[in-house]
Amino acid sequence: MRVDVRLAPSRTYRAVNDVAARPSPAGCADQGSMLPAPPAGAARRLSARALAVLPLWCIALALGACASSPPEPTAIPVPITDFKMVAGRWQGSVSGLAGPRNEGDSVQVTIGEDGTYDFGIYRTIGVFGGKGQFTLQDGKLMAQGERGRVTYELYERGGRRYLKGIGVAGGNPVTTELRPVR
């Protein structure tokens, strides 16, 4: 049962007595509580204010979560001293084949323990590939073909290896990042 009581001219109090709905613990007399009643329309103003501020809180929380996440480990170059270090299948993205834009092209390279390679590039307009022989120079893989050349460096970041390639294909600068296929 709720009763509004005016005790002073400037304040209205609401008495809430829930003795019938919830029994009091043994030996306790529940006298209800006296809570200030909100002014008329205050709930609507509070809801509108809360809704206006909610997106700002969401953005602040998201930025705080990003700022508090640990930084990504630094990539460490690993000199390639033997083809066996990078033998196997690698795949990843390649950009620059059709100019400076990235068109979502992908590449898959299989490297043999003797440095031979076989690659396939998968584009929206079709597939092309080739074979060849890598050479090792200054801890990097290097290849030269009739359509272009590429240099791959091996990196490790957070316990994971990847090959980062920089080259030229058809006169366009090309970059690629390959991860081992498991």
CB 174 within 8 A of CB 94: yes
**Which residue in this structure is represented by tokens 């200054």?**
138
Greatest Cα pair distance in the chain: 96
Tokens of 75: 């990539």
What is the per-residue pLDDT for 48? 63
Over the chain (182 residues), what is each successive 10-residue block's mean pLDDT?
Answer: 50 46 45 55 60 64 61 89 97 80 80 94 77 96 90 95 93 92 86
What is the per-residue pLDDT for 182? 79
What is the per-residue pLDDT for 125? 74
What is the per-residue pLDDT for 13? 46
**Could you tell me how many helices (H) and strands (E) the chain has, helices first?**
1, 13
Tokens of 58: 């969401």
What is the per-residue pLDDT for 17? 47
What confidence tens digit (pLDDT) does each residue in 132-181 have? 999 999 999 999 988 889 999 999 999 999 999 999 988 889 899 999 99
String of DSSP letters for 84-132: GGT-EEEEEEEE-TTSSS---EEEEEEE-TTSEEEEEEEETTEEEEEEE
CA-CA distance, 47 to 88, in Å (whole number)?
60
- For 3, residues 6+ apart whose C-beta sits below 8 A from its C-beta are 14, 15, 17
- For 180, residues 6+ apart whose C-beta sits below 8 A from its C-beta are 88, 89, 90, 161, 162
What is the per-residue pLDDT for 54? 64
Residues in the chain: 182
Go through the domains of the chain in sequence order and give each one's CATH number: 2-68 (no CATH), 76-180 (2.40.128.20)
CA-CA distance, 140 to 67, in Å (whole number)?
35
